[in-house]
Structure 1
C-alpha cells in the first residue's frame, strides 16, 4: 500500500528557464509547504539560479538549455537518489501554479489511492485565454482516448506521482513540453490510476515558453508514435495455446 503523502515525504521539483523574477517567491512558498524543494535551472543565463538559492532550496543548473522534459529528468534522478522521499510533485517556476494548493494533491492521493495526480484548471476557465482553453480540451481529449482514462487537463504541469514511477519516466523519449503528455501514457501503460486535483487558473505577465508551431508539431508526432505503438502492441501474437486445446 502506498504511503500517505505528507510534507515530509513529498519532494517538490521545479524546472525553470529564465525565471529570475518569480523563482525566489515560488521556491519560498513551496518550501513553506514541503521539506524538500529542488529547482532545476535549464540553462538560464540570467539570475534564475541565484534567486532560487536565495530562497534556501537546492539548485541544479544545466550548462545549456535542453528542454523542460530534460530538466524534469535531471530532477527525478537527483530526488530518487535520496532516502525518505515517497512522492514527487512538479510545479512550474513562473507563478502559474500556486504552492498553497499543494495540499489538494495530498488530499486526492490519500482519498483515492491514485499513484499519479494531475492538476486540473478546467473547472473554472474564465481566466484562461480562449486559444489555451481550446488547446487544452483538444489535447486532453486525445490523450485520454489513448490511455483509456479521463484526464481533464493533460497539459497541466502541476502534478504529483509515486517515487516508483520516476524510473519509468526517465526512459521517456520526449524531452520538451510533450514529455508531460508522454508521462501520462507511460503511467497508464503500467496500470497506474490517474486522478485529478482541482487547481486555480493563474495567468500574469509571464511569457509562455511553449512555441505554438514547433510544440504543436511535436505533440502531433508524439500522438502518431503512440498510436503506432498501441497498434503494434494490440497486433502482437499472444502466447501459444497448449497442445490439444
Structure 2
C-alpha cells in the first residue's frame, strides 16, 4: 500500500478538488479534515466525499492545523496500518500533485526518515515575508537543535507510520505543531531526506491561514521564553556586577573575578529556576540537571571573566564589555541547555 495523504482544510475552494482528482489518478488514498469550515463550503466536501471517494473527517469548530493533522494521523493509523506512513499537504494549491507523489515514493524508500518537500527560496517570485520568515525560522531551528533545515515551514512532509504514537503526543494545536515535530526529530537525530519541490505562491500567498504575528509567536515561543529568562538573569547579573565594582572592588583582574563570581552566582540561581520550571519544564528530580547546569554555569562564569579581563584595556566601559561577552555566550548556552541539560532523553519513534 502507498502512503496516505492527509490534507487539513479550512474554507477550501475548487483548487482542493482539482488536487484530489490528480492524487486519485496516482492511486493515493486521501484523508481530508474539515477543520471547522463555514457552512457555505460544505459543497466542496460533499464533492470530495461522494464523487472522489475521499475520507472526510469533520471538526465541528476550527481546532487548528496541528489538531487536524493529529486527527488524520490517528484515523489513518487505525484504518490503514499497513501504509508506510503519511504525506501531509496543504489545501490551498501550493503543493503540486507530482511533488506529493514524489514525497510519497521517497517515504516508501526511506521508512525511518522524515521526508521534507524543500522549496527554493532564491526564486525571484518568492514573496518577501515567506523568504525571510523561513530564514528566521531556519535560524531559530539551528539554534534550538544544532541541526540545519533549509525549509522549516514546508507543509509537504512524509512521516513514517512507526512514529504515530509519539507524533500524537507532541504538543501544539496550530502551526507551531509542525515546528515542534521538526524540533523533536532534530533533538532525536531523526534523519531528514529533502525532496526539491516546486515553489508555488498564489496571489502573494494571501490564501494562507498562517497569521504572521500570532502563529510566529507560537513557533518561536520556547526561544522567546529562553531569551526572556536570560534577559531577566542578565539584569540581575549586570546590576550586581556594576554595584560591586563601584562600592567593593577595583578594576583589577582579581576584582573583576570576585565581582563576576558573586554576580553570576546570584543570577545563575534565578536563571536555573526559570529555565527548569518555565522554559524547558524539566521534571528531573534526581539532581542530574542541577549538576549539569552547575558545570555549565561555572564554565560560562570563567569564560566571561577571562574575556572581560583580557579585553579590559579597551576603551569600553566594563559593564558594556561584559554585556557583549555574555551575549556571545548566549547561543552556546541555549543549545547545551536545550539538548543536554533540560531536554528529554533521546528516544526511538516506534510503535510498541
Structure 1 pair 122/145, CA: closer, same or farther in 2 (3 Å)? farther
**What is the TM-score of this pair, normalised by structure 1?**
0.84
Deviation at 1:55, TM superposition (A): 2.3
Rounded to whole Å, the distance in 1 between the matches of 2:123 and 2:338 is 37
Structure 1 pair 180/225, CA: closer, same or farther in 2 (3 Å)? farther
Q: Deviations over 1:106-155 (max 9, x none)?
A: 55446667510111112652221012101111101211332232211010
8 Å CA contact retained: 2:94, 2:200: yes
Rounded to whole Å, the distance in 2 between the matches of 1:137 and 1:191 is 21
* Residue equivalent to 2:77: 80
Rounded to whole Å, the distance in 2 between the matches of 1:69 and 1:169 is 10
Rounded to whole Å, the distance in 2 between the matches of 1:84 and 1:109 is 14
Rounded to whole Å, the distance in 2 between the matches of 1:124 and 1:98 is 19
Gaps of 5+ in 2: 227-274, 281-334, 343-352
8 Å CA contact retained: 2:145, 2:339: no
The count of aligned residue pairs is: 229
* Residue equivalent to 1:28: 21
* Residue equivalent to 1:4: none
Structure 1 pair 109/176, CA: closer, same or farther in 2 (3 Å)? same
Secondary structure of 2:83's aligned partner:
coil
8 Å CA contact retained: 1:41, 1:62: yes
* Residue equivalent to 2:145: 147
* Residue equivalent to 1:241: none
Higher strand content, 1 or 2: 1
Alignment of 1:203-218 (within 5 A): 203-205=201-203, 207-218=207-218
Q: Which has the larger Rg?
A: 2
* Residue equivalent to 1:201: 199
Secondary structure of 1:176's aligned partner:
coil
8 Å CA contact retained: 1:27, 1:37: yes
Rounded to whole Å, the distance in 2 between the matches of 1:50 and 1:169 is 29
Could you say what the CA RMSD is over the residues aligned between the two structures, in angstroms? 2.3
Gaps of 5+ in 1: 1-7, 237-245
Secondary structure of 2:169's aligned partner:
coil
8 Å CA contact retained: 1:13, 1:75: yes
Alignment of 1:112-127 (within 5 A): 115-122=113-120, 124-127=122-125
Rounded to whole Å, the distance in 1 between the matches of 2:142 and 2:173 is 21
Q: Deviations over 1:214-239 (max 9, x none)?
A: 11221221434688437266236xxx
Pair 1:92-2:90 in alignment: yes
Secondary structure of 1:138's aligned partner:
helix
Deviation at 1:104, TM superposition (A): 2.8
Higher helix content, 1 or 2: 2
